[in-house]
Amino acid sequence: MPASLQGEMQPTIYRFKFGEFEVATILDSKAVREGLHPSFGPEHSADEAGALCAANGIESNRYVHPFTPTLVNTGKQVVLFDTGNGFLRRDFEQLRNRAVDGHLLERLREAGYQPGDIDVVVTTHGHPDHIGGLLDAGKPVYPNARYVFGAAEFDFWKRGENVREARKFNRELFVKLAVPLADKSIFIKPGDEVVPGIHAVDAMGHSPGMLAFHVESAGKRLLIWADTCNHYVIAVQRPEWTLDVDDDKEKAAATRKRILDMAATDRLYVAGFHMPFPALGIIEKSAGGHRWIPVSYQLNL
């Protein structure tokens, strides 16, 4: 009698103690996409991109694109970084066949948290997969939270000036999903504190005012870098290659180089929104630049 196949299974929550804090990365969703090239490095040849992928044991014509918010419990406050895809497919016809369903709420519940338990919601930047879960039918998904936005990022999308054509609908989304939260929000700049132990870091380029966040507790340090690097091979090993979804491609490349060097030099753990789940790694300097090294057991000791 043949054995029936049971289908794919994959972990969706990874939680660990981090100094006096507790941190969890939560897989909101993932998409399987076609062609790393020319989305990454259109100014380079397909053969060059293919050789880089082959050298790292991955396909160049298909890749997994994860969406991974991070939750930090300081023992006093519960801070959620980004809300994932949320209800984009359900609520916006333009995204019906492009976005993926968000599962953050159900996975937060699996991790022991109700929406009302979240004290602070931080939006690293205003792209759809980071703001999709802010509102449900016009009401805040996290009713007791205060919301944190980068001041430059919020101002850019609210004003709607100099938005490139490819981001016009993104601007509409931001006005519908983020702007209504203004009276429940604070607006910060690089260097500002979110809660004790968590500070904003300039990561502008991928979006006009994107922020990363430095988390420190009892001598341990983690960088939540949002979309600084959108792929663990190409964006890390070839940070100078442009990316089609970067809003300011030159600045984004400079930011990648700066933050990669900082993460490697300061020996930071990194949580990356689009890195392979559990989306945690360290950056190693190599002869050719940098490499993403996934965490193994370091955070479980």
Q: According to the 3-state scheme, what is the secondary structure of 169-184? A: HHHHHHHHHCHHHHHH
In the predicted structure, residue 262 carries a pLDDT above the cut 90: yes
The pLDDT assigned to 77 comes to 98
Domain that includes residue 17, residue range:
13-300
Residue 21's domain is classified under what CATH number?
A: 3.60.15.10
Nearest Cα to Cα of residue 231 among 101, 70, 29, 40: 40
Burial annotation 14-42 (CB, 10 A radius, 16+ → b, else e):
bbbebbebbbbbbbbbbeeeeebbebbbe
Within a domain: 162? yes
| Average pLDDT value for residue range 50-60 | 97
Instruction: Between 145 and 289, name the one with better pLDDT.
Output: 145
Mean pLDDT of all residues belonging to the chain: 97
Query: Per the structure, how many domains does the chain have?
Result: 1
Backbone φ and ψ for 29, nearest 5 degrees, come out as -175, 180
pLDDT at 98: 85
Smallest Cα–Cα separation from 227: which of 215, 217, 216, 248?
248
5 lies in a domain?
A: no
pLDDT at 288 over 80: no
Residue 1 lies in a domain: no
Q: What digits encode the pLDDT tens for the residues 174-233? A: 999 999 999 999 999 999 999 999 999 999 999 999 999 999 999 999 999 999 999 999
3-state secondary structure of 25: strand
Question: HSE of 252 in the Cβ direction (CA atoms, 13 Å)?
Answer: 24
The reply to whether 7 falls in a domain is no
> Does any domain span residue 56?
yes
Flag whether pLDDT at 65 surpasses 80: yes
Q: Please check whether residue 193 is in contact with residue 242, taking contact to mean a CB–CB distance below 8 angstroms.
A: no
∠230-232-233 over CA atoms, to 5°?
Answer: 115
Residues near 123 by beta carbon (within 8 Å), at least 6 away in sequence = 82, 83, 130, 131, 134, 147, 148, 149, 150, 153, 178
Cα angle 255-27-119, degrees, rounded to a multiple of 5: 80
The reported pLDDT for the residue numbered 97 is: 87
Q: Is residue 255 part of a domain?
A: yes
Is residue 8 one of the residues assigned to a domain?
A: no
Q: Residue 130: is it exposed, middle or buried by C-beta count within 10 angstroms (0-12/13-18/19+)?
A: buried
Task: Please give the pLDDT value at position 196.
Answer: 98
Whether residue 273 is contained in a domain is answered as yes
Residue length, the chain? Answer: 301
Predicted confidence at residue 231, as pLDDT, reads 98
Compute how many other C-beta atoms are within 10 angstroms of the C-beta atom of residue 185: 18
